[in-house]
Amino acid sequence: MNQEFIHIDGGVTAPSGFKASGVKARIKYDKKDLAVIVSEVPAAAAGVFTTNKVKAAPVLLCAENLADYTAQAVVVNSGCANACTGDSGMEMARQMAAAAALNLGIKPSDVMVASTGVIGQKLPMDRIIPGIALAAGAVSSEGGHDAAEAIMTTDTVPKETAVQFKLGEKMVTIGGIAKGSGMIQPNMATMLAFLTSDVNIDPLLLNKALKFVADRTFNMVTIDGDTSTNDSLVILANGMAGNTRIEQEDVSFRIFRDALAEVCITLVKMIARDGEGATKLVEIRIRNAPSFTDAKAVAKAIANSNLVKTAIFGEDANWGRIICAVGYSGIDINPDRIDIYLGEEKVAENGAGLDFSEDRAKVILQQEHIIITVDLHIGDAAATAWTCDFSFDYVKINASYRT
């Protein structure tokens, strides 16, 4: 679909009718650690959440509040996950929603709640509640960047983006922020991401678009194979762009879904590039698989291979580790038909190594963005996964996470 998506500044406040803020609630050190995002009007809403059997209280509350596919605000804290905190955890999540609702003049059931940080610690509500009041009072149409900063934990940079595009005669916008640099192995999107849009769309179609895109973007990023207890992907679409309402899976729906994918892919690449200790963004493209499900399984097997990731860090063109991961991916393959490329350099053909240029491969592996392509030659489906290399610093960061 030849639709132009224009990347613009503003993140979650780029769409009409959205405001946000990020403040210091003193949950952690002397950094922004509490964010609020709010729409001027109630919005269609959808979410995708962690598949971990151990789910944090905010995840459970969000799923409960999304039962009517409507929301108006998001409140997020970093520094404490509010996970594995018993019955009090749910009560604290409800208190966060109630405090945001009170200060924003909306219903508690229209507030999405998210937390990120250390598992097993209780939220410091004596700081959270005043922090929510502070954040609610500080929301502005320029506050998207502050919100992106406030949701960070081990992230080294904030992650935000927005795109504008036309639906009929109306210019519409989708914005987003995300956090995540470790414990990123989705079976949804193991991180936090919040998307906003001024598109007028039926809530059930919004939900369908989000799930489709999540499966092809956030579900395809992995840093270390660990699935968090708190991972949440939420979108609010308030309709304030004034486009003709999307009520069926027509051209407008597909354009919206493609634009949503553009936003999510941009955020996914930021997450993978910012993996804990990462020095390289690795993009793994699977081609000519029997089905998308099969292509996804192969891409994720390669992306999760510590041997592949350490070889990338060491700039070693060890394609044998790649084909090994293909072999244990669980799909029915023909090993004698597999071709492998590092960038444009073909390193294996029909399952066997080629006399490729080690020098050219070395130059490719020295780049910050490395593309691995695997052609299975057994179908016409494709999938792409994103990860990073596995460096010495990853161990250092995670060995002392709590301290």
Active site members: 190
How many Cβ atoms sit within 10 Å of the Cβ of residue 134?
A: 16
Q: What are phi and psi of 378, to 5 degrees?
A: -135, 20
Alpha carbon distance 252, 256 (integer Å) = 6
Q: Check: CB of residue 333 under 8 Å from CB of residue 324.
A: no
Residues 6 or more apart whose Cβ sits within 8 Å of residue 355 = none
* Eight-class DSSP state of 309: H
Distance CA 294, CA 289 (A): 6
Contacts of 164 (CB under 8 A, 6+ apart): 5, 6, 8, 14, 171, 172, 173
Contact 71, 45 (CB under 8 A): yes
Distance of CA 349 to CAs 287, 325, 329, 339, 362, Å? Answer: 14, 16, 19, 4, 19
Are the C-beta atoms of residues 20 and 35 closer than 8 Å to each other? yes
**Alpha-carbon span 9 to 163, nearest angstrom:** 8
- The alpha carbon torsion through 151, 141, 218, 307 (nearest 10 deg) reads -50
How many angstroms separate the most distant Cα atoms in the chain? 68
Instruction: Please state, in angstroms and rounded to a whole number, the distance separating the CA atoms of residues 46 and 40.
Output: 18
Query: H helices of 69-189, where?
Result: 86-104, 125-138, 144-150
Residues 159 and 152: their CA atoms lie apart, in Å, by 9
